[in-house]
Amino acid sequence: MLKELKIDEIYETVITSLENEANGVCKINGMVVFVPKALVGEKVRVRITELKKNFARGKIVEVLESSEKRVTSKCPYYEECGGCNLRHQTKEENLKFKKEKVENALKRIGKIDAKVDDCVPCFKDDHYRNKVSFKVEDDRIGFYAEGTYQLVDTEYCLLAENKINDCLNVIRNYIKSHKNKIKNVTIKHGNALDEVLIDIYSLSNDDMEILDYLTTNIDNLKTVVFNDKVVYGTGYINQISNGLMFLCSSKSFFQVNDVQTEKLYKIALDNAKLKSSDVVLDLYSGTGTISCIISSHVKKVIGIEIVPDAVLNAKENLKINGINNVRFICGDAAKEINKIKEQIDVIIVDPPRHGVDRKTIAIMKKMNPKKIVYISCNPVTMARDLSYLTDLYDVKKVIPVDMFPNTAHTECVTILKIRN
Which residues are designated catalytic? 377
| In contact, 153 and 135? CB cutoff 8 Å | no
DSSP string of 26-87?
EEETTEEEEETT--TT-EEEEEEEEE-SSEEEEEEEEEEE--TTB---S-TTTTTBSS---T
DSSP string of 271-308?
HHT--TT-EEEEES-TTSHHHHHHGGGSSEEEEEES-H
Q: Which helix (H) or strand (E) holds 210?
A: helix 210-217
Q: How far is CA 299 from CA 126, 245, 251, 343, 346, in A?
A: 39, 21, 30, 12, 11
SS (H, E, C) 166-194: HHHHHHHHHHHHCCCCEEEEEEEEECCCC
Strand partners, 190: 195
Q: Is 358 helix (H, G, I), strand (E, B) or coil?
A: helix
Strand partners, 132: 187
Q: Which helix (H) or strand (E) holds 146?
A: none
- The Cα 262–Cα 128 span in angstroms is 13
Closest CA to 131 of 172, 167, 171, 181: 167
- Residue 29: CB atoms within 10 A of its CB come to 13
- Residue 32: CB atoms within 10 A of its CB come to 14
- The Cα 301–Cα 342 span in angstroms is 10
C-alpha 239 chain-centroid distance? 17
| In contact, 99 and 119? CB cutoff 8 Å | yes
Per residue in 391-414, is it b (16+ CB within 10 Å) or e — as a string? eebebebbbbbbbbbbbbbbbbbb
Q: Is 55 left (phi over 0), alpha (psi -120 to 50) or beta?
A: beta
- Residue 308: CB atoms within 10 A of its CB come to 13
At 323, which amino acid appears?
A: I
